[in-house]
Chains A and B, each alone.
Chain A
Amino acid sequence: MTAATEFEPVIGLEVHVQLATQSKAFCGARAEFGGPPNTHIDPYTLGLPGALPVLNHRAVEFALRMGLACGCDIALRSELSRKHYFYPDSPKGYQISQFDRPICENGHIEFVLGSERRQVRLLRIHIEEDAGKNLHLAGGRTSLIDFNRAGVPLIEVVSQPELRSAEEAGEYLRAIRQLVRFLGISDGNMEAGSLRCDANVSIRPRGSTQLGQRTELKNINSFKYVQKAIEHEILRQIDIVQSGGRVVMETRGWDAARGTSRSQRQKEHAHDYRYLPDPDLPPLIIDETWLASIAAALPKTPMQRRDHYLLRLGLTPYDASVLTAERELCDYFDQALVAAGVPTEDESLGDGLRSRAKLCANWLSSELLGLLNKDSREISASPVSAESLGELVRCVSDGIISGKQGKEVFFRMYESRQSPTEIIEQLGLRQLTDPTLITAACRKVVDDPAMQKQIEKYKQNPKLLGFFVGKALAETQGKAKPELVSAIMLSLLAEK
């Protein structure tokens, strides 16, 4: 226990994000995930002689969106380079990537760790192309290659070694997934491989500012294992150091089935990829007008929306986290707010509107998400539209129906997809709030000759008010708003 706390882990992540383009980074073959083997191919994907790369404009736009959202320095002139290596999944014998002049440098990723807001600095974000897939048959002498994935555009997001725990690394990665989904540049699906993560891990004595020898963990391909794999590597290194050994620079592959890692390659002499500027691809020049238009249309980040919910609407951090989990949920909530009568752009909201916003958040997170979850439905498949939910909140807030009636209306909305107004009319739930009608009902009670004895008693005992309110409510078949009946009855009785 104390042994582990003597050391401080130092973690940096390299995250590959597959960009959600229609076509590949440098050719027109389909970039879509999956498909029968070797169907999303063309002469360029196969590295056939004479096939030349032409960069996909949308891939650049997506990389710029990410760079802008992370506050990176955008290079108006960057370089595409060849990174050479021989492996069957790369038919050209090199991968087009960016080396000494990436499209984005610096910047940061923001996220929440526990209740603390964290900012981890980035080294760079660059554009590159994906490799094909190898299929190794157990015990076989042959590997099978599918080039459908080869050439799909990626961005690689490289952090500074600023993460200090496996848990923090996990949150950082989740923040990247959330961000790319909000920006609409990737589905961030780790299981399908559109988000992949390599971790550089080292340890050092707590208090030291020097970096220890690092190892590179590869093959962490699910959220479930990110924390586990890094935690395991930290403990493995502590073990080595404590037993008098020395951590060696190597690449280790995570074996999820065994819950352990194994050495894949020792990096005694750093690998020589012989980077060189790709002669087929002149410098990438970003037009400033284009960049400005991308910046102007940049979707809000999850952290910006979180701040909006916390500061302007006064929601709790928990509510804000639930709502910002997915962009679709945020959008749904914002639409519901409008329908509930909460203005979207006012600088500050009064208490009334804030509590209405809170009511919206409650209905969404506890009632609607509860049912959707039970039915394994996404928010996009919700039978209750955002407009309907907002309308329901407005009906409850305005006292048209009570909170309890609201629940019944809500369940019927979920079942029938009808609007709250329709259901309220059908069920005859609308509360009577017209003061003239309520006054008439109350007057009928107090003017009833049979009531005069009770009125005399009331003068002695004001607690009898409830008796008269009950009578008046009965006159309206229970539809009148009780608080209004009570107030009007009180003033009528005072006149007696």
Chain B
Amino acid sequence: MSSHVMGQSNGHLISADEIRVTAELARLLLPESDIPKLSSELSAILAYAESLQEVDVAGVPPMTHAVPTQCPLRGDVAEAHDSTESAMRNAPASEASFFAVPAVFGGGAADDSFDGEG
């Protein structure tokens, strides 16, 4: 979380390497030529947000939501839902009521899929 203010090698709050890692995590294909521009633009945004650091928050509990409310709970009732057919209608590809995607195997960057199928 604190990595936002890591790379300041060229005076930027966010380094070119951090742009590359972030793009990879977000599955964005960035042309190398865009990186310096993004680095300076994102750094400017962060610098603006950094002005918040001046506020003294000692003793103020962290706030994760703007509206002071609590998580509503619903009863454990299973309800009728869309048919499989209607769900498939928007899928780019399907096969025998499965969604079909390009082959994926373990080793993808995010394989915390608890997948027993292997």
Contact = CB atoms under 8 A, between A and B. Distances in A.
A133 B104 CA distance: 12
A202 interface: no
Contacts of B27: 86
A128 to B, nearest CB: 10
Interface stretch (B7-15, B32-40, B51-59, B78-86): B78-86
Given A23-B76, A57-B73, A87-B110, A221 B116 contact: yes
Given A58-B76, A88-B104, A219-B116, A272 B25 contact: yes
A339 B4 CA distance: 69
A116 B99 CA distance: 50
B102 A89 contact: no
Contacts of B98: 37-38, 135, 144-146
A41 interface: yes
Contacts of A23: 76-79
Nearest to A42: B81
B95 to A, nearest CB: 6
Contact of B73 (A56, A130, A144): A56
B87 interface: yes
A89 B72 CA distance: 27
Interface residues of B, number: 47
B67 to A, nearest CB: 7
B107 A219 contact: no
A159 B84 CA distance: 39
Contacts of B96: 37, 144
A383 interface: no
Given A86-B109, A253-B106, A54 B81 contact: no
A143 B72 contact: no
Contacts of B110: 85-87, 271
Contacts of B50: none
Interface string A125-153: 00000110111110011111111000000
B71 interface: yes
Interface string A417-457: 00000000000000000000000000000000000000000
B84 A22 contact: no
Interface in B22-54: 25, 27
Contact of B101 (A28, A88, A272, A285): A88
A55 B99 contact: no
B117 A282 contact: no
Contacts of B109: 85-86, 265, 271
A219 B65 contact: no
Interface string A280-312: 011111000000000000000000000000000
Contacts of B78: 22-23, 28-32
Contacts of B115: 89, 131, 133-134, 219
A59 B76 CA distance: 8
Contacts of B100: 142-145
B81 A279 contact: no
B109 to A, nearest CB: 7
Interface residues of A, number: 70
Contacts of A130: 114
Contacts, number: 173
A38 B88 contact: yes
B64 to A, nearest CB: 4
B70 A57 contact: no
A39 interface: yes
B77 A265 contact: no
Contact of A41 (B25, B75, B77, B84): B84
A60 interface: yes
A46 interface: yes
A16 B112 CA distance: 12
A282 B74 contact: no
Nearest to B82: A42
A283 B71 contact: yes
Given A142-B95, A253-B106, A80 B71 contact: yes
B89 to A, nearest CB: 11
Contacts of B93: 142
B2 interface: no
A56 B70 contact: no
A41 B79 contact: no
Contacts of B82: 41-43
9 contacts: A23-B79, A42-B81, A42-B82, A83-B112, A135-B98, A136-B104, A193-B116, A221-B116, A277-B65
Given A54-B74, A281-B71, 19 more contacts: A23-B77, A28-B78, A28-B79, A38-B97, A39-B84, A42-B82, A56-B74, A79-B64, A83-B112, A85-B110, A89-B113, A143-B103, A145-B98, A146-B98, A193-B116, A255-B118, A264-B107, A277-B64, A283-B71
